[in-house]
């Protein structure tokens, strides 16, 4: 089986393409009747779905993997543990699952990139959902120690109240550029004119 496309995507850090590449290679192998399961990079395939936040596809992939392969590949089980934590929305557990396994060099880059992306997603979630949050809770969401989480959010212009151990969220300014199409303006004018007369 030729995994050169997958290898190139990993080398170029195009992690958002990994799941699609693996899905297409799997379909191609199945269509050709090639026995691929013994050499298939299931952990990378699973992590590819997790990276693009496609937990449903990750679950279906997990269910389709033969039990013998699951038992023989501890890294695959560790990758699925991340998926389980995401599925149950155990935010701190995601970081524990990431740190709880000694990843191979092949998957380490993908796991590290996912961890950074996940931290960014969690930060955006905190910004959209909270106006204030405790340092402890923010640290749990961001998978960091309380000191690291405080430094991280302060660098994003949040403020800290040391007495109450609370963080005040700085909402990001939402910039929306409206594109005014002259034809839409004309139609609106005609509509308003029609209503008035």
Q: What's the confidence (pLDDT) of residue 108?
A: 93
Q: Which of 173, 169, 189 is CA-nearest to residue 181?
A: 189
Find out whether 182 and 145 touch, Cβ atoms under 8 Å: no
Q: What is the pLDDT of residue 183?
A: 76
pLDDT at position 191 is 79
The model's pTM is 0.79
**For residues 52 and 72, what is the distance between their CA atoms, to the nearest angstrom?**
26
Mean of per-residue pLDDT scores for the chain? 89
| The pLDDT value given to residue 174 | 62
d(CA 27, CA 36): 11
pLDDT score for 52: 95
pLDDT in tens, 73-125: 999 999 999 999 999 999 889 999 999 999 999 899 999 999 999 999 999 99
Q: Is the pLDDT of residue 30 over 90?
A: no
Cβ atoms of 62 and 83 closer than 8 Å: yes
Question: Which has the closest alpha carbon to 110: 78, 148, 156, 87?
Answer: 78
The domain locations on the chain are: 1-102
Q: What is the pLDDT of residue 175?
A: 60
The two structure tokens encoding residue 190: 């005609």
Residues 100-125: b if buried by 16+ CB within 10 A, e if exposed: ebebeeebeebbeebbeebbeebbee
Helices (H), the chain: 4-11, 18-32, 42-51, 55-64, 67-72, 74-87, 91-99, 105-129, 135-142, 146-154, 182-196
Structure tokens at 39: 């050499």
Question: Is a pLDDT exceeding 90 seen at residue 43?
Answer: yes
Confidence at residue 179, expressed as pLDDT on a 0 to 100 scale: 67
Residues 20-58 as b or e (16 or more Cβ within 10 Å = b):
ebbeebbeebeeeeeeeeeebbbbbbbbbbbbbeeeebb
Section 23-27 average pLDDT: 91
Contact of 127 with 152, CB cutoff 8 Å: no
pLDDT in tens, 152-194: 999 988 999 989 999 998 876 666 666 667 777 788 788 788 7
């Amino acid at each position: 089986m030729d995994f050169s496309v997958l290898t190139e995507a990993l080398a170029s850090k195009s992690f958002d393409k990994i799941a699609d590449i693996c899905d297409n290679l799997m379909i191609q192998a199945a269509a050709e009747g090639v026995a691929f399961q013994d050499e298939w990079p299931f952990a990378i395939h699973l992590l590819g779905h997790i990276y693009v936040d496609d937990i449903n596809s990750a679950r279906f992939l997990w269910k389709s993997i033969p039990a013998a392969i699951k038992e023989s590949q501890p890294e695959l089980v560790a990758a699925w543990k991340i998926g389980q934590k995401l599925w149950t929305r155990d935010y701190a557990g995601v970081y524990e699952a990431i740190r709880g396994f000694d990843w191979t060099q092949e998957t380490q880059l993908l796991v590290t990139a996912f961890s950074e992306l996940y931290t960014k997603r969690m930060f955006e979630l905190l910004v959209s959902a909270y106006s204030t949050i405790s340092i402890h809770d923010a640290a749990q969401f961001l998978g960091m120690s309380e000191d690291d989480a405080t430094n991280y959010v302060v660098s994003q212009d949040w403020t800290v109240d040391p007495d109450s151990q609370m963080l005040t969220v700085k909402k990001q300014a939402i910039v929306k550029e409206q594109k005014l199409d002259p034809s839409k303006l004309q139609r609106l004018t005609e509509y308003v004119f029609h209503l008035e007369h």
